[in-house]
Amino acid sequence: MKSGFDNNTMRGIELKHRHKTYHLFIRLSGALELHMDRCLRKRRETQAAEPQYVWTNVELEWEEHHYIEARYFQSRDELIITVNRDEVWRGSPPVWNADTVWLRDDEPFE
């Protein structure tokens, strides 16, 4: 598969939506993770089928639901993030150089 990045670096993006902070990471193992306020919400291991897909449904205000989705196409190194089906980010995830102390080990869920 085409790879636009070094497999020895974690990549990710931080997004703000309303009063929440979201992180999308491509881990060294190739897993795609979605975090909300530094809490892991979803993780999808690398797979042959594309895209890798993670999502979460969040109630931000009283019964106001927001649907956060991310799709990663490894073959073209493209991450697409939507909020309530509106695209908010598209591109190749940059190398993540910020704090990662709060992240759990890169391992599959049991």
Residue at 84 is within a domain: yes
Q: Is residue 61 part of a domain?
A: yes
Cis, peptide link before residue 108, omega less than 30° from 0: no
CB-count burial class (<10 Å; 0-12, 13-18, 19+) for 11: buried
3 within a domain of the structure (yes/no): no
Q: Is residue 104 part of a domain?
A: no
Q: Residue 57 and residue 2: Cα distance in Å, rounded? A: 32
5 has a pLDDT exceeding 60: no
Residue 52 lies in a domain: yes
Could you tell me if residue 73 is inside a domain? yes
pLDDT digits over 17-75, tens only? 888 899 999 999 999 999 999 999 999 999 899 999 999 988 777 778 889 999 999 99
Integer Cα distance of 80 and 110 in angstroms: 27
Residue 98 lies in a domain: no
Indicate the pTM of the whole model. 0.84
Do residues 19 and 28 make contact, with C-beta atoms less than 8 angstroms apart? no
Q: What is d(CA 74, CA 52) in angstroms, rounded to the nearest whole number?
A: 8
The answer to the question of residue 6 being in a domain is no
For residue 76, the 8-state DSSP code is G
CA nearest to 9, candidates 22, 24, 25, 23: 25
Domain count, the chain: 1
Rg, Å, the chain Cα set: 14
Which pLDDT tens digit goes with each residue over 67-104? Answer: 999 999 999 999 999 999 999 999 999 998 877 777 77
Could you list the residue range(s) of the whole structural domain that residue 68 is in? 11-91
pLDDT for 4: 44
Residue 14, pLDDT > 70, answer yes
- Provide the pLDDT for residue 1: 34
